[in-house]
Amino acid sequence: MIFRQLFRNQDTTDLKNPSPWFKSLFGYQAASGEKVTVESSLGVPTVYRCINILANSVAMLPFQTFKKTAKGRERDKAHQVSFVLERRPNPYQSPFKFKHLIETHRNTWGNAYINIHWGVDGRPKELWVLNPAVTTPSVDLKTNKLWYFTSLPDGTPVKIPDDDIVHLTTLSTDGLKGKPPIQIARESIGSSQAAQKFKGKFFTNGAAHSGILKTQQALGKEAKDVLRDAWEEANTGLNNAQRIAILDAGLEFEKVGMPLKDAQFIEGMKFDKGEIANIFNIPLHMINELDRATFSNIEQQALDFIQNTLSPILIQYEEEFSYKAFSFNEQKRYYLKFNLTSLLRADSKSRAEFYKIMLDAGAFSINKVLELEDMDGIGEYGDKHRVDLNHVSIEIADEYQLAKANGGALQKGGEDD
């Protein structure tokens, strides 16, 4: 009972301490003065790319249903869970779009919520992604049961039991809700937004240097305003770019340095990109930061991305969906697993060498290799596993080896000629 109380809502929200969903919707204030919201953060190219990389990487992987057997495991394509995850989660989304949206929600709002609609047979019929902006988990203080509160598109409030929700999160500090990455990275995102606006205003001014108009005459406020407006009208805007300015009445123009060429400005932008990529655990070469990249370390970083970035995410999917999508009895026999073959696929020469090793070791059958290459099998003979002893069947490998050592032929049926 004491431990369950740790998961109860601890938030006390008011205007001074608004709820996290409210902050995500209306923005986190950064030191740069920029408000960072989900929508504005996606306007920062580095944020968009990082989220898209993660969403695409998860969405492209087949999410497969397996059944435990006496011999190990086998895929069960006929199960209803397999249908909704591999064929059609709901009438409006393909499996790719479904997983892509889930991962996008998880990396923007910190939480992704999937509502399971059950069929009459007690198995999932449809899977619907809920709007994370209006969905929140809450533990009932009387029953200690977890519920999810959300709103339909028409504004109708809905209370959904925990059994009907698959909840995927980013880093969590309370065990229930994930922290929005844009909240964690708000300073880097905010300064990136400010830098983008600065560049936009810079080119709006025709890429002209800012500067000072000087004169020996004393000018009043009105005269200064007229002079400034006349100068801006004649020299700013892309249509006026590269025009020759004519100065009279003893005016002199003194330009100030162009910050877009400033080393600190450039390094600051690179730092922001690196910080954002670091929050999302994306290798720098994947966001086109190649300053210190080589072919060998890019290859290693690609493997690190699969192992250290993607694998923990995929495990969360596998555990949550396996627990929620199958009944209690089915959980003893069924589970879900992502197929990473497409991510690990190398060039044709490397694949051929790998397949030969696996065939010679008896780990793969010919049909298994053909399946991995999306090719048709060769029938029941292709299912046999063989080892590299003149490629005999693995079942008689020991007998064959003994026969060769004794200098005799392999005998079958105990008959002598």
For the chain, give the percent of residues with pLDDT over 70: 62
Neighbours of 55 (CB within 10 A): 21
Question: What is the band of 104 on the pLDDT scale with cuts at 50, 70, 90?
Answer: very high
Q: What average pLDDT does this structure show over 255-260?
A: 49
pLDDT digits (tens, 9 = 90+) for 212-229: 656 666 666 776 676 677
Examine the pLDDT at 11 and tell me if it is beyond 70. no
Rounded distance, CA 227 to CA 241, Å? 19
Quick one: 133 exposed, middle or buried, by C-beta within 10 A (0-12, 13-18, 19+)? Answer: middle
Extents of the domains making up the chain: 1-205+260-340, 211-255, 346-417
pLDDT of amino acid 258: 45
Examine the pLDDT at 187 and tell me if it is beyond 70. no
Quick one: 207 exposed, middle or buried, by C-beta within 10 A (0-12, 13-18, 19+)? Answer: middle
Angle at which helices 45-59 and 311-325 pack, to 10 degrees?
50
Tokens of 159: 């209370």
> Is this model's pTM higher than 0.95 or not?
no
pLDDT of amino acid 3: 39
pLDDT digits (tens, 9 = 90+) for 267-290: 445 557 788 888 899 998 888 776
pLDDT of amino acid 112: 97
pLDDT of amino acid 274: 81
Distances (CA, A) of 344 to 54, 76, 103, 304, 339: 16, 23, 20, 12, 10
Higher pLDDT, 313 or 268: 313
Q: What average pLDDT does this structure show over 57-78?
A: 92
Examine the pLDDT at 164 and tell me if it is beyond 90. yes
Question: What is the band of 355 on the pLDDT scale with cuts at 50, 70, 90?
Answer: confident
